Chains A and B, each alone.
Chain A
Amino acid sequence: MQGHLNDLQQRAQKKWEQLEGEALTVRIGTPTCGRAAGALDTLQDFRERIEKEGVEAHIIEVGCMGLCFAEPLVIIHKPKSGLPPILYGFITQQHVQRLVEGFLLGDDPCLELALGTVEFKEDGTPYIPELARFEIEERLVLRNCGYIDPLDIGHYLARGGYLTLQRALQMEPDAIILEIERAKLRGRGGAGFSTARKWRGCREIEARPKYLICNADEGDPGAFMDRVVLESDPHSVIEGMVIAAHVIGASQGFVYTRAEYPLVIERLKVALSQAREIGALGENIFDSGLSFDIELVAGAGAFVCGESTAMIYSIEGKRPMPRVRPPRSVERGLWQKPTVVNNVKTFALVQRIMEQGGERFSRIGTVGSTGTAVFALAGRVQQIGLVEVPMGTSLRKVIFDVGGGIPEGRRFKAVQIGGPAGGCLPESSLDLPVDYDSLRQAGAIMGSGGMICLDENNCMVETARYFLDFLCRESCGKCSMGRLVTKQMLLILEDIVKGQGTEADLDLLAALAHDVAEGTICNLCSSAANPTLTTLRYFRAEYEAHVKEKRCPALICRELITYYIVPEQCERGCDHCVLTCPTEAITTDERTRRKRILQDKCVKCGTCLDVCPPEYRAVIKVSPPEKVKELEKAAGG
């Protein structure tokens, strides 16, 4: 059986080398976000044109390289041209013909469409030297993402896949734990608990059977790291899971993912059956005596299932309401049996650590938080996408050097880290190193790695309201503290954004937030306070503007703003706003052709502002709403 894997591996490698060394390859990223950008049309078009032109080229569907801002992404490698693989960005259907005729058929590499060339580090990790972000990034989890075909286990094997598992299965479980300990790996789900300690705790318990769960229930809105890893490199997670199963002595594993991620489910199913075929799952894995299989469980849309005790109830088919610990899940977990729950990225990292050694891993990052952190960078930032940097990298570097800063010259206002349970950090926190402990001190958490940038056009009070609304909908409702305090806080915030808050509300809000942080039974509601507390702490002036002046400085809170057309700037012949207004709230003065908004008909949807040609910029928002009367008076007079 061992020979069997080595055979497979060698064959895969040979095929890969042929592919890399001789063949003309076109890699197209088709993860969920790529698809939203039209990657499937690009793919289809490439297929058709290549067939029509009779080009001998391999089309490879790959996952996500993290450069989501430039999707659809295409990598073309034409060894005959003597050029390294070239990465092209924003390749929608209209560019396909140019690439096929220019580069595939001709000698023109179409550099005007290129983002850079793909080079490889010693360990085979691809990087793009032309993009400054790759100087800062260190890709361990994302090593294969966007370069291999996730549906072809051969690609994974060719890059050394499952050899680490084969070696690990011959090791004593305690030796593996020592290696993980040497790496000082902390769980990537957000709490940052020592992985080695968790595993040892479970290993030492006698009861059988034992279960292993991969937490892929990435419920934090604004986070998509786990989705990308599972869509782009599922085998690294499976390999990490089997290593863990060997260590703790688990016989059955589960990947619990979200129903909202259909592509993850589809690709994982394929990957699991491929792993079974090569004997990496099932009975007597690689002749080691270990029997272990993985079942895929799709959640059904409940944020709280990301909490491990709730997830366990969900797998059991019960209402997923978190329970109080102790007993911990490693003692009494799934069906009351010892259970280890780890995050997707933790398993991927276990595979890397066992391949490259714990020592090497521990040298990356900081003393307390080793290795790398994967962030999903989104919101008001130029280069939206996935980022993997050494722990301890400053927020400024991540947002401005990797992410390219805030678009359209607007000002950075805050970064929201760690999902609804995390916090909003202001500009003054930008030099904070991102690691478990620094973030916690600042009032945020690492969470699973969502990082949403907010700029001057985002209202922090409204942001706090948004997160509380989310948590109120998604909390389990079991304990009075969680159920009622969060709802009360939401009611207050809803009033504040409507201009119906008072200064006393701010104190009540803070008091409630402190209470809920301390008095609830699980981490979901106790961390519900974080967005409110951090915004109150760092952006109090914005709250005060809402309650004292009934004004929204960011011009977002609908009840506190009005739209106004500046007469001097209105190009009178242009009817864009009039034609697109969904409620016919814009009138044209017969004589002057000036446009005016009928405030009682306006629903404040913002369409007129969107469609007003940028050379006029005649539509503005004003706050407080009454201000529009002054403006109208001044204009009329």
Chain B
Amino acid sequence: MAKEHSVDIIIDGKQVRAEAGEKILWAALSAGIEIPHLCAIEEADPPLGTCSLCLVEVEGRGVVASCVEPVSEGMVVHTRGRGSALRRRAMELLLADHPMTCKECPKKGKCEFLKVARAMKVKRPTHYRPFARVELPVDTSHPRIIFDPNQCIRCGRCLWVCKERLGEVPFDFINKGYEMCISTFMSRPLAETSCTGCGACVEVCPVAALCLKEQA
């Protein structure tokens, strides 16, 4: 790291040297400061910025997603306070919107989503209105991959990795707002798409929305 390309920032009172243009999240993690994160992929440009779990407060700028916001000289970052309260809110609602059928879940014990929730000490809240999402059929058509749209937390990691590998993705985000979700073309079975079954999406999926058949 060349010196002229480095900047000094302060995270939670600790001086941190970071590469100019680097995102706050990765600078913090390299300095040993934990910020929860789920959708973040360091190589993704632009960053996904979907999960709202890495929010931090930057003085003079307000709350930002640390995986998206680049560092700048003299930046003062607080990972506690408002950022932490907002991260909790996002996690609570993600949990409230998730089926939580953990006992039968193929990712049981390996669920990244749950791990982050535990690290944040957030349990499934009871004081919200139930989202009552309509249950969708699980797609087991593909010889290698099971796609359970009900488990999806809409982080978009599968799309990113699939675009990197395949180029022509067999699924994409559809709809918008609360109805936004991942879907194949016209909800066709995955087996009828260009999916090669390479399993890269399964590796990055933080929940059990995408699983290998052999795991299930």
Binding site for B on A (CB under 8 A): 302, 304, 319, 321, 323-324, 326, 471-481, 483-488, 491-492, 495, 508, 512, 515, 518-521
Contact = CB atoms under 8 A, between A and B. Distances in A.
B177 A472 contact: yes
Contact of B131 (A487, A508, A512, A520): A487
A477 B68 contact: no
Contacts of A491: 128-129, 131
A521 B68 contact: yes
A28 to B, nearest CB: 40
A481 B177 contact: no
Given A485-B89, A492-B129, A518 B177 contact: no
Given A326-B70, A487-B131, A519 B176 contact: no
B10 interface: no
B27 interface: no
Contact of A477 (B53, B86, B153, B180): B180
17 contacts: A304-B176, A474-B176, A476-B176, A476-B177, A477-B177, A477-B178, A478-B49, A480-B52, A480-B90, A480-B93, A481-B86, A484-B96, A487-B178, A491-B129, A518-B62, A520-B52, A521-B68
A521 B153 CA distance: 17
B63 A518 contact: yes
A321 to B, nearest CB: 8
Contacts of A486: 177-178
Nearest to A327: B46
Given A477-B179, A518-B63, A484 B90 contact: yes
B23 to A, nearest CB: 10
A170 B164 CA distance: 49
Interface string B159-188: 000000000000011011111100000000
A67 B195 CA distance: 58
A169 B49 CA distance: 43
Interface of B: 46-47, 49-53, 55, 62-63, 65, 68-70, 82, 85-86, 89-90, 93-94, 96-97, 127-129, 131, 153-154, 172-173, 175-180
B55 A519 contact: yes
Contact of A495 (B65, B129, B178): B129
A164 to B, nearest CB: 39
Contact of B50 (A473, A479, A488): A479
Contact of B173 (A319, A323, A519): A319
B90 A519 contact: yes
A480 B85 contact: no
Contacts of B154: 477, 480, 483
A302 B97 CA distance: 25
Given A304-B176, A480-B94, A485-B93, A518 B70 contact: no
B44 to A, nearest CB: 12
Contacts of A495: 129
A521 B129 contact: no
A102 B165 CA distance: 78
Q: Which of B68, B129, B131 has the most CB of A within 10 A?
A: B129
B177 to A, nearest CB: 5
B49 A521 contact: yes
Nearest to B82: A518
A475 B177 CA distance: 5
Given A519-B63, A521-B68, A324 B180 contact: no
Contacts of A483: 154, 177-178, 180
Q: Which of A471, A477, A521 has the most CB of B within 10 A?
A: A477
Contacts of A321: 173, 176
Contacts of B176: 302, 304, 321, 473-477
Contact of B49 (A474, A479, A492): A479
B22 to A, nearest CB: 13
B85 A515 contact: yes
Contacts of A484: 90, 93-94, 96-97, 131, 178
Contacts of A326: 70
Contacts of B177: 471-477, 483, 486-487
B97 to A, nearest CB: 6
A519 B128 contact: no
Contacts of B85: 515
A518 B81 CA distance: 13
Nearest to B70: A326
B168 to A, nearest CB: 15
A192 to B, nearest CB: 18
Contact of B86 (A471, A472, A474, A518): A518
